[in-house]
Amino acid sequence: MDLKQLRYFVAVAEELHFGRAAKRLFISQPALSFDIRKFEEQLGVQLLARTNKSVALTNAGQALLGEAHRLLLQASEAERITVRSAHGLAGRLRIGFVNSMLYRGMPQAVRRFEADHPGVEIVLKEMNTSEQVQAIQRMQIDMGYAHWGNFPSDVTSTTVFSEPFLCCLPADHALAKKRKVDLRALAQEPFILFPRTVSPHYHDLIIAQCVGAGFSPLIRHEARLWQTVVTMVGFGMGVALVPYTLRQIHDPRVSFVPLNGPTLRSDVLLLRRSGDAEPVANRFVEYLRDAGQRAPARPA
């Protein structure tokens, strides 16, 4: 049983006339009669009772008609979804993300995208960079937003956001009201930093930045998330270097102060499978870029 046979049967069953059904299907009447006979032989049942003057549905034909309508409707919907998906208008999009993306327009992009593309289901999965790389390789996510890393050849990376780091200080700190802070002024301060096992890239960058300023930072506390780092600074537990976008955490207990001179930058990378160009994923990238541009301005 195929869709063509079902369409032919439905046309005859609705018209109850081979001539009108053939005209509706844009085929000849003998060809339609032959195909219906072949269909009945294939099923082993008579679907239509024919006389010289009339055509009527048998009980088997009546039972098939309802199912045929349902199957043809499902096939039409499947075709529509497939075509829409090919143009980035339908389907499921699984996105890995690091936590800081919540402050880079990710929630706003998801809401706008789903409002404009009701046929697309977005599934967000919070993961660190190495977890995203593995998930992309295993086809468990379609794309990811992560930080720097060493990526295998089957994973491509493109920079989508780049911003400087700021000094994050308790609001009552002596340097909190300064327009800019020299990193060397923090030489005796306790630092709050990611464990190296969580983010070796940023851990090493921050250590190297401090060493370049002439001191080795005293790492007093460790935290796995940027928000936790900022919260701990707010409790007066130390100082930290954090990406510019964390200024969106409006905590009155914390001050964010630019650093003097050249400073390290926080880059967010779009991770994809090499050669992957799914339209629905490409469309979301555009929405996220737009949402990121609408976020509070970041210095170049």
Say if 3-86 and 162-265 have the same CATH topology.
no
The predicted pLDDT at position 89 comes to 54
CATH topology of domain 3-86: Arc Repressor Mutant, subunit A (1.10.10)
CATH topology of domain 162-265: D-Maltodextrin-Binding Protein; domain 2 (3.40.190)
* Cα distance between residue 300 and residue 206, in whole Å: 20
* Cα distance between residue 286 and residue 278, in whole Å: 13
Structure tokens at 52: 């010289």
CB burial class (10 A; 0-12, 13-18, 19+) of residue 130?
middle
Q: Which tens digit of pLDDT belongs to each residue from 19-65?
A: 898 998 899 989 989 988 998 898 898 989 988 888 898 998 888 88
Q: Which tens digit of pLDDT belongs to each residue from 115-126?
A: 988 888 899 999
Average pLDDT, the chain: 87
**Domain residue spans in the chain?**
3-86, 91-159+267-294, 162-265
Beta bridge partners of 165: 243
Task: Identify the residue whose tokens are 């599934």.
Answer: 123
Amino acid letter at 180? K
Task: Identify the residue whose tokens are 């005209």.
Answer: 23
* Cα distance between residue 236 and residue 227, in whole Å: 15
Amino acid letter at 41? E
User: Which CATH code for domain 91-159+267-294?
Assistant: 3.40.190.10
Q: Which tens digit of pLDDT belongs to each residue from 82-118?
A: 655 555 555 778 999 998 898 888 999 999 998 988 8
